[in-house]
């Protein structure tokens, strides 16, 4: 193909779900395109769909196969759903990484954890300065979000110029990090914006977004009025919120303690980079022990009810010093991510059992979102007057609603779910085709395809339980020993007549072999099949379940 | 003890969670007490805590052991969380069942399903008529809720008189079933109410509850304005909502089709009992095929995103006639139960992908709750002027908030979580002690204790996967055959050098036996231990996981 070079966009992750953001921009034509990646994040597993999985990420196969044409990886901000996969996928990507200062520091930690201390991470100054990566000129435009140094990207090529928002909100007083700078965005729009690729997370929130600054007073009031201990939680990476909480504690004459590794690390990192110079000195463990409850405020990680996080531990009373009771206040200054409600309720109920007062965003203005709400998205559309709006970072419903919102204001919009290659500049905006996409699971130290079946097998084990049976067969096709069975995750004590499921299974396996044809008994697959069938039927009759059955066949020679 | 007879209350389920309601009232003193049970419900399992479980119910051990003193089981209404356990626990309870007409019909269905066609189910007329069960005189007071025939109970004994609300809301125009009758409740309060045992589900909802009647217009507008097909869902048992939806369809000139067994059954039952005489005739399957989309409205079960329900099937396009597209409208006239958000989002996104418009309660007044909100609870407290408020049906936080609400108005309140025996009349209101409680899982056809470990084993399988290894050892302690392994739910293709995990496990098992002491090899437990340890270490090194390991040891005699 000798067509003119254009600029294309492909989401590998993030357009069809919230989380695991991974976007590609390609410049050139046909197979000659050069690429950059924007963000490389994870999402988190759940027992329902991905038990035992450690992390979920987009399958980068499409770009891995073209890694020699990948000119850079741009990270918009240091949230796990934008950067958490970088260390795990680095081996197949191996392109220079670009990020602003705080984000770059976080990326370096991630890379070091994965054993890549020497990967190249370029620290990029903010817009109007820019960096060149292959045919792409990219500048980082500071935006407000729930973590410092968040950025939108201006991506320029000879084929056109687009803006990728990353996660953002319109907050003029974000307390930490850069305020949203309308003048800068207006300035950006003075040169044509061919396309706006835009965060869709909060498109269903109809009120204008609120500022971090709005929280200072309600939180300070709450902390001041608490008679006893105050324990507060938020996302560990929400540095501005940690500061808001800590300053409220300080104003109420309380010492600030921090529980939770991720939270400590984030506070340390933000302090190093001069982002929270007014953050109070944190109490040492000894000082914590010496501080009376009414002069103490504890910031703890685990706002999503994570079982191993500090909040869970405190709620369960496992820390003697932090045992709560009436007069104490527990503040969830956070949003509960859909699906985590039962886990959060479990922790909140634990706290409630102690007699402490549990407070969350339903009780007052104790949390603001980090994402642009519907009216804010509309404002950005108007501000930038893009030639095309491409909604990203959202489930299908969010993408559709966001596209409808753009069209209402007269901006063309295009929905491009994961794997859809779309021309966004250098020619008519249109879908050019589909590329291969999928999900990878980090499972222990293995990266496996979500559809490989390994996790599906585990779900079957969880639902059905397991029967393992071993049989030893001699050269005549006879059993050389009694079958041996084990049962895991199935009730074995049968009420009636005190029969035992394991013994019944062993008997039924023996009978199955005895009844099998000579030819069948010579064939391991046949042996497995007849024993499985017999055991399945037995279990269904005795306990009402058909378990997963593993039959192990050994062959011996006897006299 | 020869103390005066009193009236006590014990929650076995429902006070500490939402769901699995099971309450006891006892009259007498010490071990001479007679008992009645109020409600006998289930709650539903999830993959996180109870994979493979079919239903969860309160462990009735305390009352089963005293079944000869149980004078009756009173069912307040026909929701699964109030009646779903009755068939499963009947064998250990065996007391006469009392319910109002519609509820009794539903109970009979449940009992028949469990094989107890001949259990006694008394149909009780509403208050002021009453029934006598042992020393208890009980009357059913009609209340409004999201199912017909819901009732509060007035429970009278020589020791005092209490009111148990069941689930209720204050709805003067519930469309189907009895309106909330303030005059009747005021009348009830003219005789002293010693205690009010009261639904706490919605105590955190601060606005006064809305009526079913408020939905008619918004829903009718929505259905009328839809250019194409309308698919609507709600809880199958919400007969009033089904009627509201169907009448909206009818008013818009649409034929009404119903998909989903539970929904069909509920409509049939309500019609039989004369509760929805104006419900439009439902289309047959042939009529459905012949009705154009713009003249069709489908009511479908599966408002919680259940994978096997009609909504999921329609969303996945598996029904040719009901394939959706742009111009079609999908209405979720329901609340998403906490924890079900991801499942509901999955179905909604499927629908959104077709181009249909997906509408739920966030888009307008398309759903009202069946439970009394905070101001309504307060109204009931004032109306009944009880000597004591005992919050029930709620998590710990709900119970506490409800108790605080009662105290604010000057009514004494007592929090009695599951297992707490409380004197509520015939003496000072106080906690008398604790009784044994717990949860039972219906797992296939077995009822197992939640703490029995069976389900915990399955969770371990789901997280870790399984290795089964069999070894055959002869009388000399030598392997009589090569070890045989199978791996389920673990990645077996190791990238480096195409090694195979199963082969590695078999080798490591062989090595472990060869290296074991003679005495160890004679002991099956020791053989299992050394092989488990070796396999665990191997898997941790190769795939980063420590699986569940089942080692099966067979013994043979060789020459």
Residues counted in chain B: 559
Same domain for A402 and A439? yes
Indicate whether A351 and A443 sit together in one domain. no
Q: Which of A52, A348, A396 sits opposite B464 (nearest CB)?
A: A52
Q: What are the backbone dihedrals phi and psi of residue B477, each rounded to the nearest 5 degrees, phi first? A: 85, 10
The answer as to whether B243 is a domain residue is yes
DSSP A493-504: B-SGGG-BHHHH
A369 near B CB under 8 A: no
Instruction: Please tell me if residue A554 touches chain B, with a CB cutoff of 8 Å.
Output: yes
Pick from B417, B452, B487: which residue ends a domain? B452
DSSP state of A434: E
Out of A343, A465, A554, name the one closest to residue B470 (CB): A554
Angstrom distance (rounded) from CA B147 to CA B165: 15
Residue A109 near chain B (CB below 8 Å): no
**Is A251 within the bounds of a domain?**
yes
Q: What is the pLDDT of residue B503?
A: 93
Give the residue from chain A lying closest to B51, CA to CA. A463
* CB contact B524 to A (< 8 Å): no
Report the C-alpha gap between A175 and A238 in whole angstroms.
11
Residue of B362, B468, B472 lying closest to A472 (CB–CB):
B472
> Which residue in B48, B396, B458 is closest to A342 by CB distance?
B48
Task: For residue B181, give the nearest of B260, B126, B131 by alpha carbon.
Answer: B126
Distance CA A287, CA A257 (A): 9
Residue of B397, B445, B457 lying closest to A543 (CB–CB): B445
Q: Token pair for residue B489?
A: 């739910």
- B197 in the same domain as B83: yes
Mean pLDDT by 10 residues, chain B (559 residues): 83 96 95 95 93 97 97 97 97 96 96 92 96 98 96 98 97 93 95 98 94 96 97 96 97 97 94 94 94 97 95 93 94 93 93 94 94 97 98 96 97 97 96 96 93 93 97 94 96 69 95 94 96 97 95 91
Predicted local confidence at residue A495, as pLDDT: 60
Angle between helices A374-384 and A396-408 in degrees, nearest 10: 50
> What is the rounded CA–CA span in Å between residue B393 and residue B388?
16
Is the CB of residue B149 less than 8 Å from the CB of residue B101? Answer: yes
- Helical ranges in A14-139 per DSSP H: 61-64, 80-83, 86-93, 101-113
d(CA B489, CA A463): 13
| Inter-chain CB proximity A462 and B458 less than 8 Å | yes
B220 and B81 housed in the same domain: no
Mean pLDDT by 10 residues, chain A (559 residues): 83 96 95 95 93 97 97 97 97 96 96 92 96 98 96 98 97 93 95 98 94 96 97 96 97 97 94 94 94 97 95 93 94 93 93 94 94 97 97 96 97 97 96 96 93 93 97 94 96 69 95 94 96 97 95 91
Q: Which residue has tokens 């795939």?
A: B543
Q: List the single residue in A204, A466, A558 with the smallest CB-CB distance to B558.
A: A558
Gap between the Cα atoms of B342 and A392, Å rounded: 19
Nearest CB neighbour to B341, from listed A339, A459, A543? A339
Q: What is the ipTM of this complex?
A: 0.90
Strand locations in A149-188, DSSP E? 151-157, 160-164
CATH code: domain of residue A551 = 3.10.20.580
**DSSP characters over B95-150:** --EEE-HHHHHHHHHHHHHTT-TT--EEE-PBTT--EEETTEEEEEEE-B-SSTT-
45-104 in chain B: CB under 8 A from chain A: 46-48, 51-52
A166 in any annotated domain: yes
User: Chain A contact for B475, CB < 8 A?
Assistant: no
Co-location of B78 and B176 in the same domain: yes
Range of the domain at A396: 6-207+369-452
Looking at the domain assignment, is residue B429 inside a domain?
A: yes
CATH at residue B178 = 3.60.15.10
B454, A348: Cβ pair inside 8 Å?
Answer: no
How many structural domains does chain B have?
3
Look at residue B1 and tell me if it is in a domain: no
Q: CA A133, CA B41: separation in Å to the nearest integer? A: 63
Q: Which residues of B139-150 are buried (b: 16+ CB within 10 A; e: fewer)?
A: bbbbbbbbbbbb
Q: Which chain A residues are within 8 Å of B444, Cβ to Cβ?
A: 491, 540, 543-545
Tell which A residues from 379 to 408 touch B, by Cβ distance under 8 Å. Answer: 395-397, 400
Residue A99 CA to residue A122 CA, distance in Å, equals 6
In a domain, B364, yes or no: no
The domain boundary residue, chosen from A359, A390, A415: A359
What DSSP letter does each residue of B408-465 carry, written as one string?
A: HTT--B----TTEEEEEESS--EEEEE----EEEEETTEEEETTSSHHHHHHHHHHH-
Is any Cβ of chain A less than 8 angstroms from the Cβ of B338? yes
Distance from CA of A278 to the nearest CA of B (A): 36
> Which of A204, A399, A550 should be substituted to probe chain B, the one whose Cβ sees the most B Cβ atoms within 10 Å?
A550
- Determine whether the interchain pair B486/A552 forms a contact, defined as Cβ–Cβ distance below 8 Å: yes
Residues of chain A in contact with residue B341, where contact means CB-CB under 8 angstroms, are 338-339, 341
Contact A46 B51 (CB under 8 A): no
Say whether both B399 and B500 belong to one domain.
no
Would you mind telling me the total number of residues written for chain A in this entry?
559
CB contact under 8 A, B461 and A554: no
* Beta-carbon-side half-sphere exposure of residue B516 (alpha carbons within 13 Å): 28
Same domain, yes or no: A236 and A199? no
- Pairwise CA distance, residues B308 & B323, whole Å: 17
Residue A314 placed within a domain = yes
Please tell me whether residues B127 and B250 are part of one structural domain.
no
| Chain A neighbors of B343, CB-CB under 8 A | 48
Give the end of a domain, one of A431, A452, A473. Answer: A452
Q: Residues A238, A192: one domain?
A: no
Strand partners, A409: none
Contact (CB, 8 A) for A152 and A165: yes
The pLDDT tens digits of the residues spanning B289-334 come to 999 999 999 999 999 999 999 999 999 998 888 999 999 999 999 9
What's A326's domain CATH number? 3.40.50.10710
Is the domain of A218 the same as that of A202? Answer: no
Q: Which helix (H) or strand (E) holds B199?
A: strand B195-199
Q: For residues A60 and A202, state if they share a domain.
A: yes
CA–CA gap between residue A468 and residue A502 (Å, rounded):
10
The pTM score is: 0.91
In a domain, A134, yes or no: yes
Do A304 and A185 belong to one domain?
Answer: no
């Amino acid at each position: 193909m000798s067509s003119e070079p254009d600029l294309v966009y492909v989401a590998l992750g993030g357009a069809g779900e919230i989380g695991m953001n991974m976007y590609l921009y390609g410049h050139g034509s046909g197979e000659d395109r050069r690429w950059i990646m924007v963000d490389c994040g994870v999402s988190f597993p759940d027992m329902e769909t991905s038990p035992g999985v450690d992390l979920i990420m987009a399958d980068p196969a499409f770009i891995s196969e073209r890694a020699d044409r990948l000119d850079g990886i741009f990270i918009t901000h240091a949230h796990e759903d934008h950067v958490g996969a970088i260390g795990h996928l680095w081996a197949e990507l191996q392109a220079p990484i670009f990020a602003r200062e705080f984000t770059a520091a976080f990326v370096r930690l991630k890379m070091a954890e994965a054993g890549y201390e020497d990967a190249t991470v370029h620290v990029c100054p903010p817009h109007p300065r820019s960096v060149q990566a292959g045919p792409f000129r990219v500048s980082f435009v500071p935006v407000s979000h729930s973590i410092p140094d968040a950025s939108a990207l201006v991506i320029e090529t000879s084929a056109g110029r687009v803006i990728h928002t990353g996660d953002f909100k319109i907050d003029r007083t974000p307390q930490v990090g850069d305020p949203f700078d309308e003048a800068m965005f207006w300035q950006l729009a003075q040169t044509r914006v061919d396309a706006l690729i835009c965060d869709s997370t909060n498109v269903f929130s109809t009120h204008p977004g609120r500022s971090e600054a709005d929280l200072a007073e309600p939180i300070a009031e709450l902390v001041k009025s608490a008679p006893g201990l105050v324990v507060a939680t938020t996302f560990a990476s929400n540095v501005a919120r940690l500061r808001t909480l800590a300053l409220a504690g300080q104003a109420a004459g309380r010492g600030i303690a921090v529980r939770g590794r991720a939270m400590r690390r984030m506070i340390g990192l933000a302090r190093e980079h001069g982002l929270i110079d007014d953050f109070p000195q944190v109490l040492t463990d000894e000082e914590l022990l010496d501080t009376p409850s009414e002069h103490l405020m504890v910031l703890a990680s685990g706002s999503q009810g994570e079982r191993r996080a500090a909040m869970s531990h405190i709620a369960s009373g496992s820390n003697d010093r932090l045992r709560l009771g009436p007069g104490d206040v527990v503040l969830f200054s956070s949003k509960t991510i859909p699906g985590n409600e039962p886990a959060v309720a479990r922790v909140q109920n634990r706290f409630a059992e102690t007699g402490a007062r549990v407070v969350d965003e339903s009780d007052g203005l104790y949390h603001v979102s980090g994402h642009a709400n519907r009216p804010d998205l509309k404002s950005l559309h108007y501000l930038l007057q893009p030639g095309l709006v491409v909604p990203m970072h959202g489930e299908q419903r969010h993408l559709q609603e966001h596209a409808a919102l753009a069209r209402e204001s007269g901006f063309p919009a295009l929905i491009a779910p994961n794997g859809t290659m779309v021309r966004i500049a250098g020619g008519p905006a249109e879908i050019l085709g589909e590329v291969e996409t999928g999900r990878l699971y980090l499972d222990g130290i293995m990266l496996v395809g979500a559809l490989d079946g390994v996790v599906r097998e585990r779900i079957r084990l969880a639902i059905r339980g397991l029967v393992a049976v071993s049989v030893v067969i001699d050269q005549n096709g006879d059993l050389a020993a009694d079958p041996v069975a084990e049962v895991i995750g199935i009730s074995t004590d049968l009420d009636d007549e005190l029969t035992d499921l394991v013994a019944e299974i062993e008997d039924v396996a023996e009978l199955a072999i005895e009844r099998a044809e000579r030819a069948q008994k010579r064939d391991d697959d046949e042996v497995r099949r007849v024993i499985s069938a017999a055991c399945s039927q037995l279990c269904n009759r005795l306990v009402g379940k058909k378990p997963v059955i593993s039959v192990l066949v050994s062959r011996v020679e006897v006299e």
